């Protein structure tokens, strides 16, 4: 038997919410990389974080509005959160370990 259209839609919405969470953490990683490359004070960091969370809330609202007629579903919020957590714990962690090694490598290469 095949899945009903409704179940397929719900599964697709869960996948989209998971991918949205991954995307949000990738965007935050860009902010983190910029902060590593160009250190700045707490005010600017706070302003960046505020803009990031506004973007995150608008993206999540947009997902709910366009895909689910604006109806809030707990599993969509959980999917976004799960995507963020899994991206942060696996992809982001590995990425930053590699970047730190590259930074150390290039710092050692510059020394006479």
33, 99 Cβ separation under 8 angstroms: yes
Please give the model's pTM, rounded to 2 decimal places: 0.81
- In angstroms, what CA-CA distances link 61 with 17, 41, 73? 11, 30, 11
Q: What is the pLDDT of residues 65-107, one digit of tens each?
A: 998 887 888 899 999 999 999 999 999 999 888 887 887 777 7
Q: What is the pLDDT of residues 12-25, one digit of tens each?
A: 999 999 999 999 99
């Amino acid at each position: 038997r095949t899945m009903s259209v409704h179940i397929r839609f719900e599964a697709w919405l869960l996948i989209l919410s998971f991918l949205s969470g991954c995307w949000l953490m990738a965007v935050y990683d860009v902010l983190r990389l910029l902060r590593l490359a160009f250190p700045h004070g707490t005010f600017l960091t706070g302003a960046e974080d505020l803009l990031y969370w506004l973007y995150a809330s608008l993206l999540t609202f947009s997902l709910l509005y366009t895909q689910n007629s604006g109806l809030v579903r707990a599993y969509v919020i959980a999917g976004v959160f799960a995507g963020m957590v899994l991206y942060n714990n696996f992809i982001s962690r590995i990425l930053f370990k590699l970047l730190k090694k590259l930074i150390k490598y290039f710092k050692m290469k510059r020394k006479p």
